[in-house]
Amino acid sequence: MAKGNFRGGPKGGGMNMNMMKQVQKMQQDMLKMQEEMESLEHTATSGGGVVTAVVSGKKELVRLTIEPDAVDPDDVEMLQDLVLAAVNEALRKAEAAAGESMSKLTGGLNLGGLGL
């Protein structure tokens, strides 16, 4: 077994404090990024723009616009499909933006297993 002081000593203690400061800064940066992401809105359309969905960075639907031309009482299923397509695309945009921001913050590290 190798001999040496891995826990204490001047260098070991300094490294731990430095690491703690880095972790605290990353936590602060993550909170700031989360607040910024939650304030953003992501928009998607379907059916050539007759349905528009807007979701927040919290991944909540905040606005849904349906042009009167899209409403056909004889084809309600088409309207339902258009709404689903627009909402799902807006949610994908919100998810992609969150992932991109997290990747920038963590330098590409996969921290998913850490609950981050």
DSSP 3-state assignment of 109?
A: coil
Collapsing DSSP to helix, strand or coil, 115 comes out as coil
Average pLDDT taken over every residue of the chain:
83
Collect all residues with Cβ–Cβ distance below 8 Å to 44 and sequence separation of at least 6: 52, 53, 86, 87, 89, 90, 92, 93
Q: Is the pLDDT of residue 33 over 70?
A: yes
| pTM (whole model) above 0.85 | no
Distances 33 to 4, 16, 40 between C-alpha atoms, Å: 41, 25, 11
Helices (H), the chain: 9-39, 76-106
pLDDT tens-digit readout, 79-105 = 999 999 999 999 999 999 888 887 877
- Kindly list the domain boundaries of the chain, sorted by start residue: 34-107
- Nearest CA to 62 out of 83, 37, 87, 81 is that of 87
- 7 three-class SS: coil
pLDDT tens, position by position, 55-81: 998 899 999 999 999 999 999 999 999
CATH for 34-107? 3.30.1310.10
Which H or E element spans position 54? Answer: strand 51-56
